[in-house]
Structure 1
Amino acid sequence: MTKTQFFDEQERTVSVVGVDFSGGQPKAGVDQGPFQMVQFGVLDQIKELGWKVNFDGTFPNFQKLVPTEDPDIGRMKKPRAVSSVTRALADKVRLAAQKGHFALTLGGDHSIAIGTVSGTAAVHKDLCVIWVDAHADINTVESTDSGNLHGCPVSFLMGLNKPDVPQFEWVQPCLTPDRIVYIGLRDVDPAEKKILKELGIKAFSMHEVDRYGIGKVVDMALEHVNPHNNRPIHLSFDVDALDPTVAPATGTPVRGGLTFREGHYICEAIAETGLLVAMDMVEVNPALGDDNGLLQTVTVGCSLVRCGLGETLL
């Protein structure tokens, strides 16, 4: 398949949404990630690849949706903030997809995927998701120990929280176990392991990356989640999937992660399918690490985006 299956070569447009939101986890600074990536030039880099960029020069002020008071609901921390922001984000991503644009979301913490995937799936009904992350992010609101909702987006997208959770009734389950696959896992909670096994969700941990190599892992992941090569793909990439030596400025680093080239190969190979319609780049936290660590992490985030949009080595 060509790279232009979903996007006309002459008119292909990327709608960029920056999400200045950190409420899905406790560490300040991740809301500044999208600003740093834009300041580093990611928009011009995208244009150099031949894409038009739909970005009006400002970010939506998602912070205005965060309530002044947001007490816990059960174990959930900041549930109203997460719900309000992700609901508004879902609308923006949906509108971008309806226009036939590639939806690129720069986060922010990974709770925003509740909105991004919901928005993409509202238009691309047979959507499949490739989730690149050190963590499975599939805790339910009952199983989460921390209560931080950046560890729960997949459970919302799959409708695993029953009965419906207050504040999140708007989220329509849009994923089934056969339409999501993980790459890069290495820090998975016991409850999450149980969910993955019970639902038969395919996951390639770093053990499989070590055993088979990243090329074979990506091939197997695509074959599983998109067996007929006809489903549109949403790539949700948490920068902590990379080893901390590669991307140190992130909130939940875990040693033993993907190398620089392994991370880029994933994006390159998915772009080559011609089926990628949306991408999240999340958890870049400028407040963590020194200046070199920040520059390193922002640089790699931008280069992963470029690879997802078709940049190749030759």
Structure 2
Amino acid sequence: MEKATISIIGVPLDLGQSRRGVNMGPSAIRYAGAVARLEAIGHNVIDEGDILVDAVERIESSDVGLKNLNEVIKANTKLAEQVEAAVTDGKFPLVLGGDHSIAIGTLAGLKKGYNNLGVIWYDAHTDMNTAETSPSGNIHGMPLAVCIGLGHDSLVNLHSEGPKVKTENIVIIGARSVDPGERALIEEKGIKVYTMHEIDRYGMSYVMEDAIAYLQSREVDGVHLSLDLDGLDPLYTPGVGTPVPGGISYRESHLAMEMLEDSGIITSAEFVEVNPILDEKNKTADVAVGLMGSLFGEKLI
């Protein structure tokens, strides 16, 4: 990756799901040395601080079945504005979560800057539920559906009207926990998914080469990486709210980031779902920062 001006935006939001603590994720990632790591590679890093998230008791929007809908909308609207400003200024937006519902704001903020944005969703989950299919009502399980135009109108039309990304420009990597409604939607929309089966059978090198070639064939003008730390096996990232055994290894994840860096296609990124309350000595945040290093061009030799 060429030396960039990286705009770090923290989003201490834990209202898109039901376990407290992920709001401390941005602080944990900073404490693990994110800024120093990126500066050591040679990038210019501007830490914009955290989006202000109102401290409220959890409520349920019983009329639509979505938990904390208004609070999620407020935080994501602020995030979208800040991401759009970063792109307009020629900066690389690097968003620190917070739960994965913040991807709604990130992708909304990116829409104006790209005509044909691609998305790599690195996650154990596909996050393609809607209010009708969600077993929980947790919005952090819905952001990818929202971004293709499915879900509550106030989420779909956040910051700008309509879908934020084309279904054919999405690649999901590492999926191993998929709800029935999500599975049906993925099949209906023809979204490209590499589950753990493909990673185990063909190897991460093949999967990333294929994913990168696929997005390039779509002639995307930028690619956003949305990386949920539960995409890795809980052995490496214990501090996540929805761990799923049998995930991507630490080394496979570094290889994936290194290959993305070599490809030069990544134009924005977010690292989400670090929960220090559930972590072991900030291990998960340390992994997040290590993966950032590989994504931004850190080399062993």
Considering the TM-score relative to the shorter chain, is it more than 0.5?
yes
Distance 1:47 1:202 in 2: 34
The 3 A distance-change label for structure 1 pair 22 and 41 is: same
Alignment map for 1:27-176 (pairs within 5 Å): 27-56=19-48, 58-63=49-54, 71-161=61-151, 165-166=153-154, 169-170=157-158, 172-176=162-166
Q: Which residue of 2 aligns with 1:274?
A: 264
Residue 73 of structure 1 contacts residue 79 of structure 1 at CA under 8 Å; is this kept in 2? no
Partners of 2:119 and 2:165 in 1: how far apart? Answer: 8
* Equivalent in the alignment of 1:287: 277
- The one of 166, 169, 194 equivalent to 1:204 is 194
| Number of aligned positions between the proteins | 299
Q: How far is 1:152 from its partner? A: 0.2
Kindly provide the CA deviation profile for residues 155-205 of structure 1, in whole angstroms up to 9, marking residues without a partner as x. Answer: 1100023xx535654353111111100000000001101000111000000
Gaps of 5+ in 2: none
3-state secondary structure, aligned to 2:50: coil
User: Partner residue of 2:293?
Assistant: 306
Cα–Cα, structure 1 residues 177 and 69, in superposed 2: closer, same or farther, change >3 Å?
A: closer
Q: Which residue type is aligned with residue 153 of structure 2?
A: V
Partners of 1:60 and 1:20 in 2: CA distance: 7
Measured against aligned partners, the alpha-carbon deviations of 1:79-103 in whole angstroms (never above 9, x if no partner) come to: 1111111111011111101111110
Task: Identify which range, 236-245 or 123-132, moves more after superposition.
Answer: 123-132
TM-score normalized by structure 2? 0.94
Q: Which is strand-richer, 1 or 2?
A: 2
Residues 175-194 of structure 1: matches in 2 within 5 Å? 175-194=165-184
Identical columns (%): 36
Instruction: Give TM-score, length-normalised by structure 1.
Output: 0.90
For residue 172 of structure 2, what is the amino acid of its counterpart? Y
Shift of 1:60: 2.8
Cα RMSD after superposing both structures: 1.8
Matched residue of 1:63: which SS? Answer: coil
Is 40-49 or 104-113 further displaced after alignment? 40-49
Indicate conservation of the 8 Å contact 1:179/1:226, yes or no.
no
1:26-70 residue CA offsets vs partner (Å, 9 max, x unmatched):
1000000110111221101111111111125x4232236x68866
Instruction: Map 1:1-20; keep pairs closer than 5 Å.
Output: 3-4=1-2, 9=3, 12-20=4-12
Distance in 2, Cα, partners of 1:187 & 1:283: 16
For 1:268, the aligned partner's letter is E
